[in-house]
Amino acid sequence: MKRKILTAVLTAIVAISSVMACSGSAYAEDAAGKVLSSGDVTAEKDTLRIALVAPLSGNNATYGMKQENGYRLAMDEINAAGGVLGAQIELVTYDDTGDASTAATGTQKFIDDEEVMVLGGSCLTSCTAAMLPMTGDAELAQMVVSSSARMLTGLSDYFFRMAVQDAAVGPQIANHFASMGDKTTVALYPNNDFGIGLKDSFVAQFEANGGSVLDKIEYQDTDQDFSAILTTVKSLNPDCIALCGTTTDGALIVKQARQMGIEAHIMGQPGLYNQNVIDIAGEDAEGLFACGVFIYTNPDEKVQEFVKKYQEKYGEVPDGFAALAYDQMYVIANAACQAMEANDGELTRMTMIEALKETQYDGVTGHVNFDENGDWVRDYLTLVIHDGGYELYQE
């Protein structure tokens, strides 16, 4: 495999500049240079309540926990700098365990709480799909850092997605394989909305590139033994394998595939940029490719300041979901600040929504704005595990 690891300054990852959250004269800035409060207007209430519905336990807990970590780090910084026009951010959470009906229960709880101005989550497409009609009816902004299926686009006027999207991730995986000269592939995917959507977008692009899809094999997202489907994969001897699942199942597949002697290139979605993958797969993770929007080795000063603070607080380097959540909390704070300044310190769910639609924010994951569907449209990175760690890859 030919690889060129970028060690130069990664200017394409982020374009960081100080961003003023509100117009006004007397600002207080946090250590990252983001302006969060103004002396011209004071919030009518002492707290700004943000809710999070996410899997905080179970097989997909890594997604929810990283999102909560990113939220809390940013929240602590904002509150220490004086809050949002003096209002302190309060985060309340609900563990949906990765179950759609449980996510709906948590959503209703926070809809009924009139103090909640934004609902973050969930992390899984099926959970988010169950929540969107409810938050739409309640005119409550819902924001995610994952939930990437194409089916979610346009489902709600109040949905804001700071997440990689399957419609772009699938083609990126296919195009990466094409750049490596791979002509045959097998797609492995969990039988859920996310897995099916990512598989379909990958297959369409791989075939459009002139490649041959030897098989598309589904599994249950709770599976841990993949020997049966990997026996089929080995018999097909593909040039490459597309992993269209999540962090834990993806790591187990990689480990078991390599132990069975399968040498095909393997690439998956951003959930594979996670220390848990290396912890589970060990040396068998070497050479694994993943999409992403963030890498902790980016030498940019602001990114490294974030990485340092995250490590100090949580004892680990941040993954892409933690970085996205960190930026998302700042996006929320900026929007709340703008909405309150325009309304004499008062904030409603609808004025928050209108302010979010106007977002222009430079964070550690790049420049954030939303298109007419509430989606964040951007280019993604290709990452590779090399010498036991993640690095940016470029052919």
Query: pTM of this prediction?
Result: 0.79
Domain 4-164+299-368 annotated CATH 3.40.50.2300? yes
pLDDT at residue 384 above 90?
yes
Q: Do domains 4-164+299-368 and 166-292 have the same CATH topology?
A: yes
Q: Which of 226, 222, 219, 186 is nearest to 203 (CA)?
A: 186
Give me the mean pLDDT over the 29-41 stretch. 52
pLDDT at residue 163 above 60?
yes
| pLDDT for residue 199 | 96
pLDDT-derived band of residue 30, with 50, 70 and 90 as boundaries? very low
pLDDT at residue 187 above 60?
yes
Give me the mean pLDDT over the 232-261 stretch. 97
Which residues lie closer than 8 Å to 308 by C-beta, 6 or more apart?
Answer: none
Q: Which residue has the higher pLDDT, 391 or 10?
A: 391
| pLDDT for residue 97 | 97
**Residues of the chain above pLDDT 90, percent:** 78
Q: Are strands 381-386 and 389-394 parallel, antiparallel or unpaired?
A: antiparallel
pLDDT-derived band of residue 64, with 50, 70 and 90 as boundaries? very high
The structural domains of the chain, with segments of one domain joined by +, span: 4-164+299-368, 166-292
| pLDDT for residue 39 | 58
pLDDT-derived band of residue 252, with 50, 70 and 90 as boundaries? very high
Give me the mean pLDDT over the 219-238 stretch. 96
Q: Which residue has the higher pLDDT, 193 or 350?
A: 350
Q: Rounded distance, CA 148 to CA 124, Å?
A: 8
pLDDT tens digits for 76-99? Answer: 999 999 999 999 999 999 999 999
| pLDDT for residue 193 | 84
pLDDT at residue 204 above 90?
yes
Copy the structure tokens of residue 48: 């700004």
| pLDDT for residue 379 | 81
What amino acid is encoded at 64 in this protein?
A: G
Give me the mean pLDDT over the 116-144 stretch. 96
Do residues 171 and 205 touch, judged by C-beta distance below 8 A? Answer: yes
pLDDT-derived band of residue 37, with 50, 70 and 90 as boundaries? low
CA end-to-end distance (rounded Å), the chain = 10
What mean pLDDT, rounded, does the chain reach? 89
Residue 226, judged by CB atoms within 10 A of its CB (0-12, 13-18, 19+), counts as buried
Give me the mean pLDDT over the 339-352 stretch. 96
Superfamily of domain 166-292: Response regulator (3.40.50.2300)
Q: Which residue has the higher pLDDT, 236 or 222?
A: 236
Q: Rounded distance, CA 57 to CA 60, Å?
A: 7
Copy the structure tokens of residue 44: 């009518």
pLDDT-derived band of residue 150, with 50, 70 and 90 as boundaries? confident
pLDDT at residue 254 above 90?
yes
| pLDDT for residue 395 | 67
What amino acid is encoded at 283 in this protein?
A: E
